[in-house]
Structures are given as C-alpha cells and as structure tokens.
Amino acid sequence: MAADGTAESRYVLDDVDRRILDELTRDARISVRALAERTHISRAHAYVRIDRLLAEGIIRGFTARIDHEKAGLTTSALVAMSIRQDSWRGIAEALRELPFVDHFALLGGAFDVLVTVRVPDNRTLRHLVLERLQGIDGVRSTTTWMVFEEEHGQGAQWV
C-alpha cells in the first residue's frame, strides 16, 4: 500500500512500454497497426501491452489537445493560492467542479496550489478569481498572473 492508502503498482516499464508511451504521447489516435510498426512489435503484442498499461493505471485515458483560442477561451491565467493547512481535499474537490479550471496542482513552496484557468474574457476571469476561487472554504489568498503567450511541449519523453 502507498502512503495515501492506494495499491502500489509493481509493474516496471521496459523499453517496449516506453516506446509505446512515447508514440501515444505524440499521437493518441495512432492506429494499433501503426503503433506496432513504429515500436517493432506485432499488433497482438501491442494490444496486450496497451491493455496492461491501462489495467495498471499507467495510461489513464486518451485525450485531444485543444486550441483554446479557437475554442473561444482567449484569456488564460495562472492563479497561485495560499490555503489553510487542513483544506486541500475540499479545495481539490471544489476545483474539479469549477468551470474554466484547466489544471491544478498542490505545491511545496511559497504558494500551496497553482491553478491554470482558461476563460472567454477578462470579465469571466475576474468573476472566477474574485468570487469563485476566493470563495472556496480554506482559500486564504490568491495571486493571478495573466498568460500573454504559451507553448506546449510534446509531453514526457519516454525513450
């Protein structure tokens, strides 16, 4: 058991698993046939490996990368939160339910939580930060940084 009460995975990634993860990180819509060719394994073996990576929870799902601007979410910001020490679980639950919250993480350092938000405009950002985020029980203060430009990497490199 892990410290948080969940079962620890004993599955150890090998080179084939890492190549599969690398290819799926680049293109989650890749066909199993193409994946097998690129990783130099049979299609049947690719299916078995993907099923095992899913069962072990290493692959949690398959997603699409969204162009937020084209989707109408033209304003992005990073919001750092200072929280009451015993409030993380409730805050995490509240953040999962809020619209426009793209990502959040518990931190060690000067701030406790960092939230990435993507909204249609500044008025929505103001409402989200000053009323919704600051209204969550346990939030002591927030600091907001507007994002002017951003780039996305390829994700984790497995090979």
pTM of the shown model: 0.77
Whether 98 and 127 map to the same domain: the answer is yes
At what angle are helices 15-26 and 32-39 packed, to 10 degrees?
Answer: 130
Question: What's the number of domains the chain is made of?
Answer: 2
Residue 63 lies in a domain: no
CATH number at residue 93: 3.30.70.920
Report how far residue 20's alpha carbon sits from residue 40's, in angstroms, rounded to the nearest whole number: 10
Whether 107 and 139 map to the same domain: the answer is yes
Q: Domain span at residue 24?
A: 15-55
Residue 122 lies in a domain: yes
Q: What is the pLDDT of residues 93-152, one digit of tens each?
A: 999 999 999 999 999 999 999 999 999 999 999 999 999 999 999 999 999 999 999 887
Whether 50 and 79 map to the same domain: the answer is no
CATH number at residue 28: 1.10.10
Strand 75-83 and strand 113-119: pairing? antiparallel
